[in-house]
Structure 1
Amino acid sequence: METIRAIEIGYGSLSFTQTVIDNVPSIKTFASVVSAVSNDDLSGGLAKRDTVRVEVGKAVYEVGPDAYLLSDRSSSRVLNNTFIETDQYQALFKGALFMMDVTSIDLLVLSLPVNNMLRSDALKQQAIGEHVINGKKVNVKNVWVLCQPLAGYLSYANQIGQKGFDELKEQNVLSLDFGFSTADWLVSRGLKINDKRSNAVSMGMSAILEEVSKSLKSAFPHLDTIPLNLIDEAFWKHPGTIKISGRSYPFPACDGVDSYGKETRIKFDVSSDINKVVVSCLQNVRNSVGAGAEISKIIVMGGSHEVYLPEVKRSFPEHEIVIVDRPMTAVCEGMFYGGVQYMAAIKRQRAA
C-alpha cells in the first residue's frame, strides 16, 4: 500500500500527518517558530525542549512545540510570497519529515495560499528527492500541491461522507480559510475552481495583532512594545483576558478595572481595531465573490475563523454557513484525504 503524507506549512502554524493508522491521519500541530540554535543550556539539564534540530545550509535551527522558548526579540516570521524560499520554511519542512513515522513517501501533499499557487512547481521540485535530517533519510517520490481552501473543502467532503459529497459537488461553494498571514477564499463547483472569483488578502490574524499592538501601546506607555503572542493568546488561550506585565485585563476593552476587579490606570478598547481588519477582509471577499446568489454553501476553516465568523454571517446573511470539524487542522486533513484520492486516480490511469 502506498505511503501518503501531508505537510501544511503555514505562516502561523505547521501541521503534518505524523502517523496514519487504518487510513486515518494523526495530525501534529505547533507554531511556525524557527529559532537559531544556541549552545547555551541555562536549564542545567533539568528539562529538555520538545524540538528537533535541523540543518539548512550552514545554519542550524530548532523547530517544534518548544521552539518559541528559544526565540528572542529579534525573531520574526516571514509573511510574504517568498516564504517557500526561506530557511524558515526549509527548517519546518525538514522538521516535519524527521518527526514522521516513515522513511519513504510515495506521495507528499503540500499546500500554498490561493494567491501563491504560481509557485507550486518550484515547491514540488524542492520537495522531491532524498532528504537527510540528523542522520535520518527520507525519500519523497512524488509531490502534489493543493491550494489551502480547496484542501479544507476536501476535509469537509470527507466529513459528510460519499452521499453528502455527491450532493455537494453539484453545488457552487465558497470556501473561506482564515489563517495567520492571509485570508483565502475559493469558489468551486466540485473540484472545479472558479479562478476569477478566488483570491487571498494579507488580512489574516497577523494584521489584527499588529493593529491591536499599535493601539495598546498608548495604554502601556512604559513598554516599548506589546508582544504579539500575548495579544494572540487573548483570542484563543484565555479568551476575554489579556495578560501583560504579570496582570490580567479584560479584553478587548478595559475601563480601569482589571480582570480581578482591582482598579487600575490602564484603559483601552481595541474593538474597532479588530473590526477594521475583519470588515475590510470580508469587503474584499464580497468584491470578488459578489452577493453570492448562486452560491449554495459557505465552508469556513482556519485557526482564526472565530474572529471573522460574525462578519461572515453579516456579509452573507441568507447563506448556509458550516464550520469544518477541527478547523485548525482541517486543511492538513483535507490534503491527506485528497492525496488518497489523487493516488487512486493515478493508479486507475495506469491500469487503463
Structure 2
Amino acid sequence: MTAIVRAIDVGYGNTKYVVFHERGQEVQCAVFPSIAPQASVGADLSGGVFQKRNTVTVDVNGVLYEVGRDAKLAQDASYGRVLDSKYSLSDVYMALVRGAISYMGVPHIDVLVLGLPVNTFETHNLDLAKRMVGTHRVPAPTTSEPGATIEVEVRAVRVIPQPIGGFFDYAIRNNLYGRMKNQMNLLIDPGFYTLDWVVAHGVKMANARSGAHSGGMSAVLSTMAEAIGRELGTQLNDYSVIDDAIRTGIAPRFCGKSFDITRHIKIGKEKARQFVSVLANRVGNGVDIDNIILAGGGAEFFKDLIQEKFPNHDLVVTDAPVFANVRGFQLAGEQYASSQAFSNARAA
C-alpha cells in the first residue's frame, strides 16, 4: 500500500497543512491562524440562529484548546500568541498540530513532515520529532456524531529547516530539481516572527551563511500599529486587520471608518529593511548565488527590499508563497517515503 505522507507548517502566524496529494497533481493545502485559546465550557449561545465556528476542540495534557479557521472568535482580549524560541515544544503548538491532523481526516500518518526556523532547528528538531511520534486523539470527521474522537497514529516524523521547504516546492514543481541540486541557492522565508534564510548547495546547508533574525512580519505590523494607534488616539492590539490590508490592498476599517495606511506601509518597509540588512551581512554580496527563492507569508512585502541588496539577481517568489514551505515539506516527505520503501524492498 502507498504510504500516507502529510506535512504541517506550524508558523507563529498561521498553521498550514496538506489535505491531499496525488502524484503528478497539485498539493492541496489549507490554513488556519496559529491561535489556540482554551475552549469554552459554557452553553452554546447561538440558539440555532448563528452559524457555529469552524473550529475543532483538542485535548493536550488535559486542557481543551479550540483551533481552526474561526479560532480568533474564541479568544478574549487577554489572549496572546506564543512568540518564543521554545514554541515548537509548547502545548499550543501540539494543539495546532492535532487540529491540523483532525482536519486532514486520515486514519494514520506513515510520515509526518514538520519544519522549524533555522535558529531553533539544531536545538529542537530531535525533541520535536520524538514528541510527535505516537498516537494522537483528535476530533472525528464532521460526518461522525458530535463529540466523537478518533486515534491517529503518527509512525515517523521528519523535521527540516523551514526555508528548505521552499526549495523543494520551487525545484520539484518547476522540474528544476536536477539542476538546482548542483547549484548555490539562497532560500528566504519572511515569516510572522522570524526572517529565516538558508544558503545551500542543493540541500546541503552552508551553516555559516544561513540564519534567522527575530524580525518578521509581527515586528513590521507592530511598528505600523503603533503609528496608526498614535494617529487614532488609541492602542491597536489586533494586527491581523493591518496584515489583511497589506495582502489584499483593501483599506482597513477602524472605529467603523475606512483608514488609508499608505504612509504607514512606508514605516513598515523601513523596519523590514533593517532585518534584510542582517541577512545581507551574513550572506555576503551573493556573487556565487545562482538562485534566490522567496517563500512564506511575507515574501511579497520583503521582495523589493531583498532586491535592493541583490540587484543583479532575478528574485523568484513561489506561487501562493504562504503554502510554499508546506508543499515542499510534502514533496520532501514523499521522496523520503519512496527511498525507505526502496531500501526495505532491497533488504527483503
> Shared fold (TM-score greater than 0.5)?
yes
1:228 aligned to 2:239?
yes
Distance (whole Å) between structure 1 residues aligned to residue 119 and residue 103 of structure 2: 29
1:212 aligned to 2:224?
yes
- Which letter maps to 1:106? D
Counterpart residue number, 1:17: 18
SS of match in other structure, 1:156 = helix
Instruction: Identify which of 192, 212, 226 aligns with 2:204.
Output: 192
Summarize the alignment of residues 200-349 of structure 1 with structure 2, pairs less than 5 Å apart.
Answer: 200-221=212-233, 223-237=234-248, 239=249, 241-253=251-263, 270-349=264-343
Distance (whole Å) between structure 2 residues aligned to residue 183 and residue 312 of structure 1: 12
**Share of identical aligned residues, percent?**
33
1:93 aligned to 2:94?
no
Distance (whole Å) between structure 2 residues aligned to residue 80 and residue 181 of structure 1: 9
Distance (whole Å) between structure 2 residues aligned to residue 18 and residue 226 of structure 1: 32
Give the deviation of 1:23 after TM superposition: 6.0
Summarize the alignment of residues 113-124 of structure 1 with structure 2, pairs less than 5 Å apart.
Answer: 113-118=117-122, 119-124=124-129
Give the deviation of 1:333 after TM superposition: 0.4
Give the deviation of 1:240 after TM superposition: 5.3
Distance (whole Å) between structure 2 residues aligned to residue 308 and residue 104 of structure 1: 38
SS of match in other structure, 1:36 = coil
- Which letter maps to 2:187? S
SS of match in other structure, 2:193 = coil
- Which letter maps to 2:292? I
Counterpart residue number, 2:74: 70
Counterpart residue number, 1:265: none
Instruction: Identify which of 82, 86, 98 aligns with 1:82.
Output: 86
- Using the size of structure 2 for normalisation, the TM-score is 0.91
The answer to whether the Cα contact below 8 Å between 1:240 and 1:250 also exists between their aligned partners in 2 is no
The answer to whether the Cα contact below 8 Å between 2:226 and 2:235 also exists between their aligned partners in 1 is no
Deviations 1:139-195 (A, max 9, x none): 11111001110011000011211xx22221221110011111111000011111111
Deviations 1:11-50 (A, max 9, x none): 1111111223346432111111112212243322221111
- Which letter maps to 2:309? S
Deviations 1:273-293 (A, max 9, x none): 312321111101111100111
- Using the size of structure 1 for normalisation, the TM-score is 0.90
- Which letter maps to 1:79? L
Instruction: Identify which of 162, 165, 172 aligns with 1:151.
Output: 165
The answer to whether the Cα contact below 8 Å between 1:184 and 1:199 also exists between their aligned partners in 2 is yes
Q: Which protein is richer in strand relative to its size?
A: 1
Instruction: Identify which of 144, 154, 179 aligns with 1:167.
Output: 179
SS of match in other structure, 1:206 = helix
Distance (whole Å) between structure 2 residues aligned to residue 281 and residue 10 of structure 1: 19
SS of match in other structure, 2:69 = coil
The answer to whether the Cα contact below 8 Å between 1:175 and 1:299 also exists between their aligned partners in 2 is yes
Structure 1 alignment gaps of length 5 or more: 254-269
Distance (whole Å) between structure 2 residues aligned to residue 45 and residue 198 of structure 1: 53
Counterpart residue number, 2:30: 28
Distance (whole Å) between structure 2 residues aligned to residue 159 and residue 85 of structure 1: 31
Distance (whole Å) between structure 2 residues aligned to residue 280 and residue 224 of structure 1: 24
Counterpart residue number, 2:6: 5
The answer to whether the Cα contact below 8 Å between 1:159 and 1:325 also exists between their aligned partners in 2 is no
- Which letter maps to 1:62? E
1:41 aligned to 2:44?
yes
